Structure 1
Amino acid sequence: MAKLLYSASMSLDGFIAGPGGDMSWLSEYMAPNPPIDGLVGDIGALLIGNRTFRGDDPNKGTENEGAYGGAWEGPQIVVTHHVPDEPVPGVTFAGDLAGGVAAAREAAGEKYVSILGADIARQCLAAGWLDEVLVCVVPVLLGDGVRLFDVPGGTNVKLERIGLSEAALASNLWFRVVG
């Protein structure tokens, strides 16, 4: 069965997007990252939150537009209560988290389901479905924005580090969720 992997680039102070979901900050930190670039072939489907789907791609309008710098192609499942009137090629819409996760796992087969979006990742974690977290820490402090995980009142989730690697502009930390 497919594992659910939440992967994101994050500022050192814990933000994956700036205020209002702005992703433009990430543009200057986009550089080859061999461990992440190699992951693309292990992804079978994307599970995307509504805000991320409708959000700001730091590569918009370039040849690198899209997930993983435009390198990934395949099934995309968007969890939303607001399905667009017009079909979107290559995108399936799910009205709830359980349906979205089931569709993404089926589409991914034995490969990873890559989760895109902080809120959808938080929901998967709360439901006990999140298997792994991969964070690319980039050398910048944003000070405000969308946190990697935002759980008002806090929570304590144990993680086991399963990988650590360096790239030109990021330190990659890979964890398994253990409880």
Structure 2
Amino acid sequence: MAKLLYSVTMSLDGFIAGLGGDMSWLTEHIAPNPVVKDVVSKIGALLVGSRTFGGDDPHRGTAKEGKAFGGGWDGPQFVLTHHPPARPVPGVTFVGDLGSAIEAAKTAAGERYVNVMGASVARQCLAAGELDELLVIIAPVLLGDGVRLLDWPGGTNVKLERVGLTSAELATNLWMRVVK
């Protein structure tokens, strides 16, 4: 069965998006990264939060805008939302509850990864005991404010085990497994 992977690029000070979900900061930090290329080839489905789905795009204004991983991946997407759009979006299924979204995404992914996109969905998956791994690509930048990698009011203590630590041209890749 598929594993849930939260892969995300983060500033050194712990932010995955700037204020208001701004992703423009990421544009200058996108560079060839063998770890990302490899993981993208192993993704079978996406589980996306509604804010991420409707949010800012680091590829805005280019031919890559609106495409998962800038067009590097294509496949089924499951968006967790209570407010689906009036018109269908090709390749996208809108799901109203986390359990159904995870089940549908895992089924679609088969033996491949379900890549989780969005801090809120990742936190919900952690809380439900469903998140298996995290790949955090650390960009050499300090944002100072924005959307945190993990924002858990009241705190938590999620145990992680390091799977890998590698360097790329403009980033450091930290791969962790959630200890269950």
Residue 22 (str. 1) matches residue 22 (str. 2): yes
Residue matched to 1:136: 137
Aligned length: 179
State how far apart, in whole Å, the 2-side matches of 1:62 and 1:131 are. 33
Specify the alignment match of 2:51 in structure 1. 51
Counterpart residue number, 1:5:
5
Query: 1:168, 1:68 → 2: CA distance?
Result: 17
What is the TM-score with the length of structure 1 in the denominator? 0.98
Deviation at 1:148, TM superposition (A): 0.4
Distance 1:63 1:88 in 2: 18
Q: TM-score, normalised by structure 2?
A: 0.97
> 1:41 Cα shift?
1.2
Question: Which aligned segments of 4 or more residues in structure 1 are displaced greater than 3 angstroms?
Answer: none
Please list the CA deviations of residues 6-31 of structure 1 after superposition, one character each: whole Å capped at 9, or x if unmatched. 00000000000000000000001111
Aligned to 2:111: 110
Partner of residue 123, structure 1: 124
* Equivalent residue letter for 2:64: N
3-state secondary structure, aligned to 2:45: strand
* Shift of residue 69, structure 1, vs aligned partner: 2.3
Cα distance in 1 for residues equivalent to 2:57 and 2:101:
22
C-alpha distance after superposition, 1:27-52 (max 9, x if no partner): 01111111111111100000000000
Q: Secondary structure at the match of 1:119?
A: helix
Any unmatched runs of 5+ in structure 2?
A: none
Q: Is 61-70 or 32-41 further displaced after alignment?
A: 61-70
**1:99 alignment partner, SS class:** helix
Aligned residue identity for 1:23: M
CA distance in 1, matches of 2:6, 2:63: 24
Q: Structure 2 CA distance, aligned partners of 1:12 and 1:67?
A: 23
Segments of structure 1 that go 5 or more residues without pairing to the other structure are none
Aligned-partner SS, 1:81: coil
Partner of 2:64: 64
The Cα offsets for residues 117-175 of structure 1, whole Å up to 9 and x where unpaired, read as 00000000000000000000001000000000000111101100001111110000000
The reply on whether 1:164 has 2:169 as its aligned counterpart is no
Q: Is 1:174 equivalent to 2:138 in the alignment?
A: no
CA distance in 2 between counterparts of 1:51 and 1:31 reads: 25
Question: RMSD of the TM alignment (CA)?
Answer: 0.8
Q: Does 1:145 align with 2:174?
A: no
Query: Is 2:74 aligned against 1:73?
Result: yes
State the 1:63 CA deviation.
3.0
Secondary structure of the corresponding residue to residue 98 of structure 1: helix
